Homo-oligomer: A and B are copies of this chain.
Amino acid sequence: MGSVKVTFQPENKTIEAQCGETLMDVASRGNIDINNLCGGQGVCGKCRVKILKGKVKFLSKQIGFLEKGEIESGYMLACQTEVRDEDIEVFIPINSRKEEERILTTDQLLNYGAPAPLEKGPDFVKIPYFSPLCQKLYLELSEPTLTDSVSDLDRIYREIRKRLPDFQIQAHFSVLWGLASLLRKNDWKTTATLHLRDLNCPHIRNIEAGNTSAQNYGVAVDVGTTTIVAQLIDLRTGTVIGVEGSLNRQARYGEDVISRMIFACTRGGLQPLTEAVITTINSLVQSISEKARISMEDITCFVASGNTTMTHLLLGLEPCHIRLQPYIPTANRFPPFQTAEIGLKGHSKALLHCMPCVSSYVGGDITAGVLACGMNDQPEVSALIDVGTNGEIVIGNSEWLVCCSASAGPAFEGGGIKCGMRATKGAIEKIILSGKKLEYTVIGESKPRGICGSGLIDLLAELVAEEVIDQRGKFIQFDHPHVRFTNEVAEFVLAEGEETETGEAVVVTEDDIANLIKSKGAILAAMKVLLENFDMSFNDLQHIYVAGGFGAHLDIEKAIFIGLLPDIPKDRIRFIGNSSLAGSRFALLSSHAFAKAEAIAKQMTYFELSVHPEFMNEFVASLFLPHTHMELFPSVEQKLNQRKKVSK
Contact = CB atoms under 8 A, between A and B. Distances in A.
Nearest to A175: B335
B152 A335 contact: no
A332 interface: yes
Counting every copy of the chain, the complex holds: 2
A181 B335 contact: no
B149 A328 contact: yes
Nearest to A152: B330
Contact of A176 (B151, B328, B331): B331
Give the residue among A172, A173, A329, A332 with the most B Cβ atoms within 10 A: A173
Given A176-B317, A180-B318, A317-B177, A153 B331 contact: yes
Given A173-B341, A176-B331, 15 more contacts: A145-B326, A146-B327, A149-B326, A149-B360, A150-B328, A151-B330, A151-B332, A153-B332, A154-B331, A173-B335, A173-B338, A175-B335, A176-B330, A177-B316, A180-B317
Contacts of A338: 173
A165 interface: no
Contacts of A181: 318, 320
Contacts of A175: 335
B144 A326 contact: yes
A560 to B, nearest CB: 36
A351 to B, nearest CB: 9
A627 to B, nearest CB: 32
A359 B151 CA distance: 8
Given A171-B335, A172-B335, A173-B337, A330 B149 contact: no
Given A328-B144, A337-B173, A321 B180 contact: yes
Contacts of A336: 173
Pairs of residues from A and B, 3 with the lowest C-beta to C-beta distance, nearest first: A153-B331, A173-B337, A173-B335
Contacts of A325: 146
A331 B152 contact: yes
A334 interface: yes
A180 B324 CA distance: 12
Interface in A142-192: 144-146, 149-154, 170-181, 184
A350 to B, nearest CB: 13
Given A170-B335, A335-B170, A179 B330 contact: yes
18 contacts: A146-B325, A146-B326, A146-B327, A149-B327, A149-B360, A151-B332, A152-B328, A152-B330, A152-B331, A153-B332, A153-B333, A154-B332, A172-B335, A173-B336, A173-B341, A176-B335, A180-B317, A184-B321
A276 interface: no
A231 to B, nearest CB: 23
Nearest to A146: B326
A154 B320 contact: no
